[in-house]
Structure 1
Amino acid sequence: MNYVECVPNFSEGKDRAKVESIIDSMKKYPVDVIDVEMNADHNRSVVTVVGDGDSMVNAMFKSIKRASELIDLDAHKGEHPRFGATDVVPFVPILGTTMEYCIELSRRLAERVGNELGIPVFLYANAANTPSRKELPDIRSEKFQYEQLKEAIATNEKYFPDFGPKRLGKAGATIIGAREFLIAFNVDLRTDDLKSTKEMAKRTRERSGGLKNVRALGFNLAETKETQVSMNLVNHTETPVPEVFEYVKREAESRGIPVSRTELVGMVPLKALEEIYRFYLMNRDFSENQILEKKLLEIFSKDSIKHYIEELASDKPAPGGGSASGLVGSMGAALVAMVAGLTIGKKGYEEVSEKMKIIQKEAKETAWQLYNQSENDTRAYDNLSKSLSMPKGTPEEKEERTRMIQARLKDATRVPYRTGELAASMLDYLPVLIERGNKNAVSDVYCAALFISSSVYGSMQNVKINLGLIKDTSFVEEYKAKMVGLSEETKKKTEEILKNMWN
């Protein structure tokens, strides 16, 4: 599974309704919003989202589009530097996903935003096309923000965007890239002396001779009448949080300024909290394996399929056959990726290694899409159930209820059809794997064929039953033809693949 984290920063930290609308736009795709931090002084929101790569690109695109409709940079005021309504969108590899994959995703998103939304995009960090855009402060800073970019983007080659036009609209520009995990850590100071706070930030940040891996700015906090050293820790293993805090604390105390509080913005890795524990309790032998919740999470993650089976076996109508078909198809595609992987680089298979790399990549992506289709199918049924529960006391309510039911039935038809379509796309790879793949894994290819064909047939059964309830005859005719065509094509291909299965 190509799981990634995205941490989009939006230039809105006061109007919760706007932020929620932006977040809602993401939720049209199977991603999980796991944290939202709004800061009125910065007038900025930091959202943490996790999901598979393809879904993340789509979700981020929708959120950038929505932010461009809601946020006017000409009217925006806040302490934090910014280029655009959606200011920064970093892709972060997690759970074994590679940085190269995140770079690919960031560039795909950047191209779409530039071409389809007409918003200038600057690539940064590991996705940067030039060394001068590797570091975020080299692109956007306190002294060079939206207002300065307005003129420079059309006249100064240094600020020509990587994608999109050389002009700014009210949504400004967006900075998109790929980076490792970053900790946003702030230290609030019980003073209104902004000049001293900025001096401390300068002495703390790496580019001014301070701590390695630390970026720091000094801000005023109007709500509390205090100031803040706001920092990004770009490598917490080399420069741990306690070291940074103690450094800022010493700087403040040398000026007679007490620390008011600290703040972690967004999510933080468990290892960073371990570093804090080790430092302040002087427990050098402490291990993350001593954390009860971590052990429980390991157990639960291993049992996630067990939980799904329990849900599937329950008396609830969802998840049902459509969801199960998605999961079965996902396993079939995963087996395709496995066999291709077992062939790559092996002696005697050198001539087909490049072909197998292509198959492996496509199959992995399809496996994850089918996995998401399993969830999408359950979600489609849940939405239909909500429509069935709508009030029907008046003619108007009955009309709206009927309209929504019909709309949700169409959604509940499109989802399983897409599941079958994705699963069927894997069938063309199977003859290649049988003929040229690792011979020791041929049984896995036949298993894949059985899983994939079952996924298609199961999905089409869900299409069939929903079509019987839809009143739009043109829609019914269209999907009935698609259903029959895909089923017959799958039958023909599967029979050809399996004809020598027992020989």
Structure 2
Amino acid sequence: MAKKLVECVPNFSEGRNKKVINAIVDAIKSAEGVEVLDVDPGYDTNRTVVTFIGEPDAVVEGAFRGIKKASELIDMSKHHGEHPRMGATDVCPFVPVNNITVEECVELAHKLAKRVGEELKIPVYLYEYAAQKPERKNLANIRKGEYEGLAEKLKDPEWKPDYGPAEFNPKSGATVIGVREFLIAYNITLNTREKLYATDIALEIREKGRPKRTGNIKPFYTYGNIVKHKEGEFYCGNCDFVAKTQEELFEHCEKEHNYDLKAIYKEHGIDYTNLVGKPSIKAGKFKFCKAIGWYVDEYKRAQISINLTNYKVTPPHIVLEEVRKLAAERGLTVTGSEVVGLIPFEALYQAGVYYLKKQGKSAGVPLDDVLKTAVYSMGLNDVSKFDIKEKVLGYPSLDDRKLINMSVKDLIDEVSRATPAPGGGSVSALASALGAALSSMVAGLTISKKKYLKVKDLMAEIGEEAQKIKDELVRGIDDDTDAFNEYFVALKMPKNTEEEKKAREKAMLEGLKKAISVPLKTAENSLKAIEVAIKVAENGNINSVTDAGVGGEVAYAGLRGAILNVLINLPGIEDKEFVNEMKKKCDSLLNNGQNLVEKLRKVVEEKIKQLEK
């Protein structure tokens, strides 16, 4: 069963003193079983975001050690920085990553908060999924007043901490602990030093929006006059509709603009039960988006600092494109952007696909090419270095794979040696991977031609499909050798006692089944590779039709080779039902493959005849 993995992203109120930052990080690392993925200090924000991962108990221990060290080394009474904050460890969220639920992470948050409150005497508030009260769900709401207003806040019974003393801790402040979905901390940089300009754009994009204004609102909306509700006249913030009652206004916003105006007023701390004399609120452009403007002296530029709390609904590249548009309307230019901490692989990959399609190109290119397109298009190297392998969470690295990282010559030499692996299974996967790669190539060569505009979308889809098939087959090159090696290890297990014999037999059976499952998967992917070869041969650039033909032929060879590797291992298995099932699958794959490759050959031959005319 897969391990339970939790990510923890504590934010510490120190971004300038490297000794302090290193000491805190070392304290986290000292907890056995945690892996620090990223350390991102900011000089002007005077804040460091640490990202680490591990199994639940290890992560809780690492977080506690980091919070404890921060409480020893950071004095909040002397802290100054651009970012809102209320404690030495300002916020410490847990994020479920693998095989763990939000509810389980909430238990971890309580466990950590209790320990921090009792042992370190730091007031702790719980937020997001761990929140005990509705008004504490939003981090910004808890942090309102920041460190400077904390002493007064703690006197209010409504703001009694969830854990720890309701007493002001002048050195450490307070800490907010919780559970949230993956958050992308994303900053967009402008070609100006004016914080006000960045703020003007930030208020436009954030979900909670801003007061509606009229008059002098172009180019900067901030300069207009605030619109306030009157008795019998309640103004929609996002259109010209005027309601006669508050309820009519709420219903209009829900039906016409798809947002909950009552919730937005709550976000602004405004009593929605009596709106007369209160500002009309213009909802922001993006859901799950929080944003502020600030000036970063280190870069000599203003930035829009953004938290995206659900990147699947509001991805960073879409926000960036809207900010570019809003900046241009204000005579400004976006010079680039930066990711603070990590970004999920899927978020960056989708950005790369978006920009490739915007350029009229196929996203059916190698994975790193897609990711690099995103990096260049979003200007992620503008103010700080962006290393894909370090900054992308879930990056499907194959650096640990021995065979696929060899040169072509070295791999061929390795196959030629008198060792049983790598053997036919790995070579079959390689052959079919090359076949899928050729189909992707033909799709890409078709998209760039005006003659094939009608099939451009189809070719883009095929190119991406071919790349996915290719990547699966590439993994199979090493997987096949690894599976054989596991079986070989089982074969050499001791067999002196009955217990050892049973253990060996069990390990050998498991090894054999794995040695069968890997080439079977290769065969299935090989069949898919033949299918995409037919599609590009039928619809693609006719001048590359033989490349499609070669792609299908080598994929067919890979399919037949993979099937042979399944069949050779079946005699060692006594489970007749399993053996028969495997033979049926192999027969079906071979028949389908033969029919498809014959179809491909006819298509290729016909296309060649067309060229001869």
Q: TM-score, normalised by structure 2?
A: 0.47
Deviation sequence 1:172-217 (CA, Å, 0-9, x none): 1110001111111110111011112111111110011211110001
Q: State the match for 2:167 in structure 1.
A: 167
Q: State the match for 1:243 in structure 2.
A: 318
Find 2:356's aligned residue among 237, 260, 281: 281
SS of 1:94's partner is strand
Paired residues of 1:149 and 1:159 also in contact (CA < 8 A): no
Q: State the match for 2:148 in structure 1.
A: 147
CA distance in 1, matches of 2:486, 2:15: 38
Structure 1 residue identity aligned to 2:349? E
CA distance in 2, matches of 1:71, 1:302: 52
CA distance in 1, matches of 2:19, 2:158: 36
CA distance in 2, matches of 1:288, 1:88: 43
Deviation sequence 1:253-296 (CA, Å, 0-9, x none): 11111112200111111110121012111247446973988987
Q: State the match for 1:230 in structure 2.
A: 305
Q: State the match for 2:112 in structure 1.
A: 109
Residues 293 and 219 of structure 1: is their aligned pair in 2 closer, same or farther, counting only changes over 3 Å?
A: farther
Matches within 5 A, 1:42-57: 42-57=45-60
Q: State the match for 1:28 in structure 2.
A: 30
CA distance in 2, matches of 1:298, 1:134: 45
Find 2:341's aligned residue among 266, 270, 278: 266
Identity across matched positions, percent: 42
Whether 1:64 aligns to 2:139 is: no
SS of 1:164's partner is coil
Q: State the match for 2:332 in structure 1.
A: 257
CA distance in 2, matches of 1:50, 1:212: 28
Matches within 5 A, 1:91-106: 91-106=94-109
Residues 310 and 244 of structure 1: is their aligned pair in 2 closer, same or farther, counting only changes over 3 Å?
A: farther
Matches within 5 A, 1:204-215: 204-208=205-209, 209-210=283-284, 211-215=286-290
SS of 2:305's partner is strand
Deviation sequence 1:146-168 (CA, Å, 0-9, x none): 10112211x22332210011122
Paired residues of 1:288 and 1:294 also in contact (CA < 8 A): no
CA distance in 1, matches of 2:345, 2:139: 25
CA distance in 2, matches of 1:201, 1:258: 15
Unaligned runs of 5+ in 2: 210-282, 358-362, 364-459, 490-502, 504-613
CA distance in 1, matches of 2:294, 2:118: 35
SS of 2:60's partner is helix
Q: State the match for 2:367 in structure 1.
A: none
Paired residues of 1:185 and 1:231 also in contact (CA < 8 A): yes
CA distance in 1, matches of 2:51, 2:158: 30
CA distance in 2, matches of 1:147, 1:83: 8
Structure 1 residue identity aligned to 2:179? A
Q: State the match for 1:192 in structure 2.
A: 193
Deviation sequence 1:336-392 (CA, Å, 0-9, x none): xxxxxxxxxxxxxxxxxxxxxxxxxxxxxxxxxxxxxxxxxxxxxxxxxxxxxxxxx
Q: Greater CA radius of gyration, 1 or 2?
A: 2
* Structure 1 ranges of 4+ moved more than 2 A: 283-311
Residues 257 and 52 of structure 1: is their aligned pair in 2 closer, same or farther, counting only changes over 3 Å?
A: same
Structure 2 residue identity aligned to 1:257? L
Query: C-alpha root-mean-square deviation of aligned residues, in Å?
Result: 2.9
Structure 1 residue identity aligned to 2:307? N
CA distance in 1, matches of 2:327, 2:15: 28
Structure 2 residue identity aligned to 1:240? P
Residues 126 and 42 of structure 1: is their aligned pair in 2 closer, same or farther, counting only changes over 3 Å?
A: same
Unaligned runs of 5+ in 1: 312-327, 329-503
Residues 195 and 107 of structure 1: is their aligned pair in 2 closer, same or farther, counting only changes over 3 Å?
A: same
Paired residues of 1:44 and 1:78 also in contact (CA < 8 A): yes
Structure 1 residue identity aligned to 2:468? Q
CA distance in 1, matches of 2:183, 2:485: 33
Find 2:16's aligned residue among 4, 14, 26: 14
Structure 1 residue identity aligned to 2:348? L
The count of residues paired between Structure 1 and Structure 2 equals 309
Q: State the match for 1:201 in structure 2.
A: 202
CA positional deviation for 1:228 = 0.4
CA distance in 1, matches of 2:196, 2:468: 44
CA distance in 1, matches of 2:14, 2:297: 16
Residues 27 and 296 of structure 1: is their aligned pair in 2 closer, same or farther, counting only changes over 3 Å?
A: farther
Paired residues of 1:214 and 1:231 also in contact (CA < 8 A): yes
